[in-house]
Amino acid sequence: MKSLFPELKELKLDARKKNIRNSPKKGGSSTADSVPYLKELNVAISQNAQPIQFTPNINEHIHRWAPYVQGFSALFVQSILEQYKKEYRQPVILDPFAGCGTVLVQSKLNGYKSVGTELNPLLRFIADTKLNCWDVSPKHLLGALKMMPKNKILPAPSFLRSASHFKPGVLNNLEIINGGINSFRSRTPKQKKIKNLLVLAFSSILTDCSNLKRTPCLGYVKDKAVDDSAPFVLFNQKVNEISDDLRLIQSEFKDFINTKSTVVCANAMTYKHRSKFNLVITSPPYMNGLDYVMNYKIEMGWLEFAASQKDLKKIKDEMVVCDNVSKGLIRRFYSAPATYTNPWIEKIKADIEQNIKRRGTYRRLDMPYIVHKYFDDLYRVMKNVVASMKRRARFILVVGDSLIADVYVPTDLLIAKIGQDLGLKIEKIEKARDRRSGQIRSYKLRESIVTLQKE
Ligand SMILES: C[S@@+](CC[C@H](N)C(=O)[O-])C[C@H]1O[C@@H](n2cnc3c(N)ncnc32)[C@H](O)[C@@H]1O
């Protein structure tokens, strides 16, 4: 029905909604907006529909030990390893943004050595435990579970709002499990591994036991039903799942138990690798994507990887930038000369600035500089990685593009351009799937696989 007072309705729309409604990008697509960039690069994008996301991993052995919404699918990593298995017979693999270790675990399941860097200490711990506890006896792990005392309470982290994160009965039971794990001895390497597996299992159940959910950002869910017994039920289930997988590893992958896999808690922009790599398979943070620290603050607090909000912020500030970093960090970035820029970045920055002025408002007025810092950070990571690639090595990046203040940002093509600037050849750019992100949901973005090669 037509409104009798359209002007009134218009007034009620806040500036944000108005901008979405009036966006010149409504119904548009990255395919059309990429044309000039592709022409300049002299490449075309091919189709290669792929299961990129982590979701199927929840049914895959080892990968299922920890739920991690930002990881990518083990199947995808396997397809890349298959693609190059004839060319590199025993490849050494690197993932500079290791996350929970999907690339590294999958490499080890193929008997390939691998190295990863990851700045979030919780994710590094998860990846390391998934990689380096393959020799733990499932019987001993289940024995430890059975022996866990129920009278040693270890309180929830005081800097988090645990009382609002969990129902009182659930919170109490989590503190009992936490205390039980804490009392477990870890003097010998074998005991340490068992304890790490118990801690990993505990970290995996925290969000499910809470009043929150990652969708993919961590947020409260109205009326989430969590039974007081959930911590014990889920913890038991998880430890049993891990024990089943250890049994499988020790029968079907026993030759690879000692294959070297290392994950260091380090910044991919500066970490100096000792090895040289044949294949770099990775997925950097997406520009208007997630906050890889705040999204895991509950687990980081409970596992004592952070003891205050200040600790969390410190880790976040070192990461490849996301769009909710502190204004001070961005101010410091634009007050000093950037490491990298190119004409595309400068044009994108200018267009965003102009559109923010035209709109009269935007979530972040310093958005042009956030965008610039994002590519500056990626340049630094890529430069560091290229230095440790062998000749003819491949650098494969999975990335999503963005639309910011009605300006299209072709992240995949910019990454390809940075690769070229660093002396790599653009071998192919494949579209894995369509995606939607940000305010203009009718604008079709893509997720791509960029393959670069060192000649
Ligand atoms: C898209 S996720 C990678 C997920 C991974 N492919 C997986 O399957 O688990 C990007 C990761 O990069 C990490 N990260 C961000 N900036 C970093 C930096 N400068 N050095 C190392 N890791 C960083 C984040 O903590 C996050 O875990």
Instruction: Name which residue sits closest to atom 12 of ligand 1, judged by CA.
Output: 97
Q: Which atom, in ligand 1's list, is nearest to the CA of 320?
A: 16
Q: What is the pLDDT of residues 186-200, one digit of tens each?
A: 999 999 999 999 999
- pTM, entire model: 0.94
User: Is the CB of residue 409 less than 8 Å from the CB of residue 402?
Assistant: yes
CB atoms within 10 A of CB 43: 17
Pocket test for ligand 1, best of 50, 97, 261, 300 (most atoms within 8 A of CB): 97
Q: Is 451 helix (H, G, I), strand (E, B) or coil?
A: strand
Phi, psi (5° rounding) for residue 87?
-70, -45
- Bridge partners (DSSP) listed for residue 263: 116
Centroid of ligand 1 to alpha carbon of 449 (angstroms): 16
Residue nearest to atom 15 of ligand 1 (CA): 319
Mean pLDDT (whole number) for 216-235 = 93
Nearest residue to 348 (alpha-carbon basis) of 374, 385, 384, 378? 374
197: Cβ below 6 Å to ligand 1?
A: no
Place of tokens 């002299």: 42
Cα 286 to ligand 1 centre (Å): 10
Residue 134 φ then ψ, to 5°: -70, -15
Ligand 1 centroid from CA 97, angstroms: 4
379 lines ligand 1 (CB under 6 A): no
- DSSP, collapsed to helix, strand or coil, labels residue 113 as coil
Give the strand order in the sheet containing 424-435: 45-47, 424-435, 445-454, 389-400, 277-282, 93-95, 114-117, 261-264
What value does the mean pLDDT take over residues 206-222? 91
Average pLDDT, integer, range 57-69: 84
Q: Which residue, 408, 324, 429, 395, is CA-closest to 366? A: 324
Confidence of residue 13 (pLDDT cuts 50, 70, 90): low
Four-point Cα dihedral 431, 69, 284, 319, nearest 10: 160
Is the confidence at residue 70, as pLDDT, over 80? Answer: no
pLDDT at residue 166 tops 80: yes
Please give the average per-residue pLDDT across 14-39, as a whole number: 88
Spatial CA neighbour of 123 closest among 107, 102, 108: 102
Asked whether the predicted pLDDT for residue 215 surpasses 60, the reply is yes
User: Does 386 sit in the ligand 1 pocket, CB within 6 Å?
Assistant: no
pLDDT average, residue stretch 202-217: 93
Cβ–ligand 1 distance for 68 under 6 Å, the answer yes
Q: Given this model, what pLDDT does residue 156 score? A: 96
Centre of ligand 1 from the C-alpha of residue 30, in Å: 25
C-alpha 157 to ligand 1 mean position (Å):
25
Nearest to 157 by CA among 52, 294, 263, 309: 309
Cβ proximity of 180 and 151 under 8 Å: no
The mean per-residue pLDDT over the stretch 125-136 comes to 98
Nearest CA to ligand 1 atom 16: 319
AA identity, residue 207: T
How remote is the CA of residue 225 from the centroid of ligand 1, in Å? 32
> Which among 27, 46, 174 is positioned nearest to 451, based on CA atoms?
46
Backbone phi and psi for residue 244, each to the nearest 5 degrees, phi listed first: -60, -40
Per residue in 381-428, pLDDT (tens digit) is 999 999 999 999 999 999 999 999 999 999 999 999 999 999 999 999
Question: How crowded is residue 423: how many other Cβ atoms within 10 Å of its Cβ?
Answer: 10
Farthest CA pair distance, the chain: 77
Lowest-confidence range among 40-54, 232-246, 329-343, 348-362?
40-54
Alpha helices, H only, 113-216? 121-132, 138-147, 162-165, 168-182, 189-209
Spatial distance between the Cα atoms of 105 and 239, rounded to a whole number of angstroms: 19
Ligand 1 lined by 118 (C-beta under 6 Å)? yes
All residues at 6 or more sequence positions from 227 whose CB lies less than 8 Å from its CB, including other chains: 170, 233
